[in-house]
Amino acid sequence: MADISLDSAAVTVDGPDGPVTILEPTTLVLREQRIAVIGANGSGKSTLARLLNGLVRPSNGSVSVDGLDTASDGAAVRRRVGFVFTDPEAQLVMPTVAEDVALSLRRSTSSAGQRRARALDVLDRYGLRELADVSVHALSGGQKQLLALAGVLATDPAVLVADEPTTLLDLRNTQRIAELLFSLAQQLILVTHDLALAERCERGIVVDAARVAFDGAAGDAVKHYRRLVSEA
C-alpha cells in the first residue's frame, strides 16, 4: 500500500466576497487498502480526493504520497496515483477506444506498435476488446466509464482515486464497475454516494462542511453520515 499523508492540508479559493475555505486543515494518514469518502453534495469530498494526486494543491499544509510532495513532485505523484473522474467524457480524449488506452501508455511504451498491442491486452482484460476501433463517442455510459478506468489502470498506479465512478451508471454497470474496483490489488480511495459500496471498504471518512467529521470503520462512517443527515 502507498503511504498517503495529509499534514494540516487546507484549501482556500477566491470567492466573490474574499477567500473561502473549501477544506479546513486536515491531517490524515491513508494506508488501508480501501477507503470510502462520503458526505453531502458540496461538503468537500472531491477537493479532498483531488489533493491526493496534486490535481488540487493545498493552500496551507502539505500532502505527500510515499514521501513525494504533491506540490513539488506532482508528476511523480500522478504516476503513483491514478484518478478516475465521475464523468468519463472528461478523460476520454482520443478518437477510438484503443487509441485512448494507448495514450495512457505513452510514458511506459515508446513504440506505437507495442502501445497498440498493450492497449489491446488491456481492453481484453476489461471486456472491451471488441470495441477497440470504435469511436469513444459511440460507447454507452457504462462502457465509457469502464474505458476511463481501463485507461488509468493501464499505467498500473499504486493507488486509484475514484470520484463517484458509479454515479452516472445503471444498476448493472454500477455492479460491474464495483466488482472491478473491489477486485483490484491497488489501494482504492473511493468517493461515493453509494453507501452500500462505501460499507464494503475498510475505512470510511465522512466529510461535512469542509472538514472531516468522522474517520473510522466504514460501517460506522455510514451510520455517522446517516445521523448527520437526520439531524439536519
Ligand X SMILES: Nc1ncnc2c1ncn2[C@@H]1O[C@H](COP(=O)(O)OP(=O)(O)OP(=O)(O)O)[C@@H](O)[C@H]1O
Ranges within 77-136 binding ligand X (CB under 6 A):
none
Please report whether residue 43 would count as binding ligand X according to CB under 6 A: yes
Please report whether residue 189 would count as binding ligand X according to CB under 6 A: no
Please report whether residue 187 would count as binding ligand X according to CB under 6 A: no
Cα separation, 85 vs 39, in Å, equals: 17
Please report whether residue 45 would count as binding ligand X according to CB under 6 A: yes
Residue nearer to ligand X on the CB measure, 13 or 229: 13
Please report whether residue 16 would count as binding ligand X according to CB under 6 A: no
Beta strands in 72-184 (DSSP E): 81-84, 159-163
DSSP label at 73? S
Cα separation, 137 vs 92, in Å, equals: 9
Cα separation, 160 vs 25, in Å, equals: 23
Residue nearer to ligand X on the CB measure, 26 or 104: 26
Environment class of 213 (CB within 10 Å of its CB; exposed 0-12, middle 13-18, buried 19+): middle
Q: How far is the CB of 104 from ligand X (least distance, A)?
A: 25
What is the size of the binding site for ligand X (CB under 6 A)? 10
Please report whether residue 46 would count as binding ligand X according to CB under 6 A: yes
Please report whether residue 22 would count as binding ligand X according to CB under 6 A: yes
Residue nearer to ligand X on the CB measure, 47 or 143: 47
Residue nearer to ligand X on the CB measure, 13 or 90: 13
Q: How far is the CB of 73 from ligand X (least distance, A)?
A: 22
With CB under 6 A as the contact rule, the residue among 5, 47, 104, 173 that binds ligand X is 47
Q: How far is the CB of 214 from ligand X (least distance, A)?
A: 14
Q: Are the C-beta atoms of residues 113 and 50 closer than 8 Å to each other?
A: no
Cα separation, 72 vs 211, in Å, equals: 25
Q: How far is the CB of 97 from ligand X (least distance, A)?
A: 27
Cα separation, 222 vs 170, in Å, equals: 22
Q: In what order do the strands lie in the sheet with 34-38?
A: 81-84, 159-163, 187-191, 34-38, 203-208, 211-217
Q: Which stretches of the chain bind ligand X, using CB under 6 A? A: 13, 22, 39, 41-47
